[in-house]
Amino acid sequence: MNRINLISIFSILLIFASFATSTPLKRQDQLTGFKQCQGTFPNSITVLTYTPNPVVLGQNVTVHIAGKATEVIKQGTTLVYTGYFENEPTKQAFQHQVDFCDTFVKPNGSECPVKEGDYSFIGSWLLEKHPNEPQNLVMEFGFNISVFDPNGKILSCLDGPMKVYYP
């Protein structure tokens, strides 16, 4: 092979290598568009995913939640999710709560209290559909997801968008 061909091949490889290193890899969003709320909270949530996406009223939603607890998660801890119109906290559309231990911890073979350290749980529950709700419509809400200890102290908090399908 002559020197010109080697230089051409090397140049082409160098160009491809520069594209590969300059194009950032898209990392999967571990919080599905959510972000930590402003303020400081003892337990962080580093993974929040849910299926189906958008969630469908009248069906189960399955949620994977993981993070790091620096404060023990006790029996009686609740996860409260609140939806807002136009992402405005003054325009609350709905609010529901689930028992954190019964919904997330026990179905994963553990018990409360959950000690300090890393945690990862999958929970599922039915999203009730009421007869006076819209039909055949997808709406996006601003969502707040907060975990409260039995005394009402916020352990974790996330804000973000979530789409809801009204069948």
pLDDT in tens, the chain (167 residues): 555 544 444 333 333 344 444 444 445 789 999 999 999 999 999 999 999 999 999 999 999 999 999 999 999 999 999 999 987 889 999 999 999 999 999 999 999 999 999 999 999 999 999 888 999 999 999 999 999 999 999 999 999 999 999 99
Beta bridge partners of 139: 164
Q: What distances in angstroms separate CA 117 from CA 22, 44, 47, 120, 141, one per listed residue? A: 36, 10, 15, 10, 32
Domains and CATH numbers, the chain: 27-166 (2.70.220.10)
Cα–Cα nearest to 145, from 27, 61, 58:
61
Q: Is the dihedral of CA 108, 116, 27, 39 positive or negative?
A: positive
Task: Supply the pTM of this predicted model.
Answer: 0.79
